[in-house]
Amino acid sequence: MVDQPTDHPALIGWAERSSESWCLDRAGQDRLVVDGLPIRWPLRVEVYNVLRSLALAQLGRRDVVAGPPLGGLLKRRGLDRRVHASLLRGSRTASLTDLAKRTDRPVIFVSEMAVASTIEPSLAVAAALPADMVVPLVADRRAARAWRQAGYEPSALLLPWRRDREIRTQAARRLSLAWRERFLDMPPIELAGMDVRADVHRALAPLVLRGGPWLWSELSALALALRRVAPRAVVLATDQHRVGWLAARAARSAAVPTFVL
C-alpha cells in the first residue's frame, strides 16, 4: 500500500483508506478474519483514529481531537471496553428478561454511545412507540443514564461475568495467533515515502489484542438478547461503529429486521 500524503487533508485521506486496507495481504486477501468475523470492519473507526494520530505524528504534527484525553488513551491501549464494561456493571440497569415480559415482540434499541447525534434520534423514535414496546440495550453507562432520564429502563449489553471472561479468553488466543500470522505476508505501508509497517503494528496491537476479544463478548451478548426478547425489530443509531456493526450482523443472523437511523 503506497501513499505519499504531506498535508492535513491528504493525511486524513490516508488514515481513512488505511483503516479499511491495513489487514490485506499482498494478494488483497483479508488476513485478520477470525471465526468468520472480519476484525477490520467493527474496529475501523477506532483504527482510523489511531492511524490518523500516527500519520500526523510521523510528520511532526499533533493530533487534536474532541473528547477527554483519558478516553483516547484508553482506546489506544485497548482498555476502553474493559473500563466501560466495569462501569456498566455497576450502573442501574434492568433485567432483559423482565423487560421482554412486558409486551409481545418489543423493539430493541441498541445504544453504544450517549453523544447527541446517536442518542437523540433513538429517543425520538422510541417516543413514537408505546413505552412497553421499547427495550433499550446499552453498551455504555452514559447511554443508560440518558435512557433512564427519558423515562425508560435500559438493560446492559453484558454477559454474566464468568461467561464473559471465558469467551474473551478463548477469543484472545485465536486473535493473537491470527495477528502474528497476518504480518508474515504484509505489504509495505508507505506514508510520506517511509515504510511504516512496524509503526502501524505497534500502534494497532493494543487495540486489536486487548480490545478485539470484546467483539466476541459483545456479539454473544447481542445474540443472547435477540433470543430472549425475540424482538420484532432492532433500531440502531448507526451501524458504522463496533457495537452497531455487530448488532446489525447479529440481527441478520437471527432474521430480525434492522432499522438504521
Q: How much is the pLDDT for 196?
A: 87
* Domain shared by 14 and 78, yes or no: yes
Exposed e or buried b per residue across 233-261, where buried means at least 16 C-beta atoms within 10 angstroms of its C-beta = ebbbbbbebbbbbbbbbbbeebebebeee
Q: Is the pLDDT of residue 75 over 80?
A: no
* Domain shared by 117 and 164, yes or no: no
pLDDT in tens, 195-233: 888 888 888 988 899 889 999 999 999 999 999 999 999
Q: Is the pLDDT of residue 2 over 50?
A: no
* Domain shared by 72 and 170, yes or no: yes
CATH of the domain at 130: 3.40.50.620
* Domain shared by 23 and 104, yes or no: no
Q: What band does 125 get if pLDDT is binned at 50, 70 and 90?
A: very high
Q: How much is the pLDDT for 133?
A: 93
What angle separates helix 80-89 from helix 69-76, to the nearest 10 degrees? 110
* Domain shared by 164 and 114, yes or no: no
**Residue 174 in domain:** yes
Place of cell 440518558: 146
**Residue 194 in domain:** yes
Our separate counts of H helices and E strands in the chain read 11, 9
Pairing type for strands 107-111 and 233-236 reads parallel
**Residue 1 in domain:** no
Q: Is the pLDDT of residue 8 over 80?
A: no
**Residue 2 in domain:** no
Mean pLDDT: which of 187-191, 208-212, 250-254 is highest?
Answer: 250-254
* Domain shared by 65 and 186, yes or no: yes
* Domain shared by 45 and 148, yes or no: no
Q: Mean pLDDT check: name the lowest of 55-59, 77-81, 235-239, 250-254.
A: 77-81
Average pLDDT of span 34-44: 90
Residue 155's H or E segment, with its range, is: strand 155-156
Q: What band does 180 get if pLDDT is binned at 50, 70 and 90?
A: confident
Which amino acid is present at 62?
Answer: R
Q: Is the pLDDT of residue 61 over 80?
A: no
Q: 183 lies in which domain range?
A: 8-85+160-212
**Residue 57 in domain:** yes
CB within 8 Å of 188: residues ≥ 6 apart: 1, 2, 195, 197
Q: What band does 76 get if pLDDT is binned at 50, 70 and 90?
A: low
Percent over 90 (pLDDT), the chain: 45
Structural domain tally of the chain? 2
* Domain shared by 172 and 207, yes or no: yes
* Domain shared by 143 and 224, yes or no: yes
Average pLDDT of span 23-51: 88
Percent over 70 (pLDDT), the chain: 89
**Residue 179 in domain:** yes
What DSSP designation does 254 have? Answer: T
**Residue 110 in domain:** yes
Q: Is the pLDDT of residue 53 over 60?
A: yes
* Domain shared by 170 and 238, yes or no: no
* Domain shared by 236 and 150, yes or no: yes
**Considering 176, 193, 212, which residue would you say is the last residue of a domain?**
212
**Residue 17 in domain:** yes
Q: Is the pLDDT of residue 136 over 90?
A: yes
Q: Which three cell numbers stand for residue 112?
A: 453504544
* Domain shared by 96 and 148, yes or no: yes
* DSSP SS3 for 29: coil
Q: How much is the pLDDT for 243?
A: 94
What DSSP designation does 30 have? Answer: B
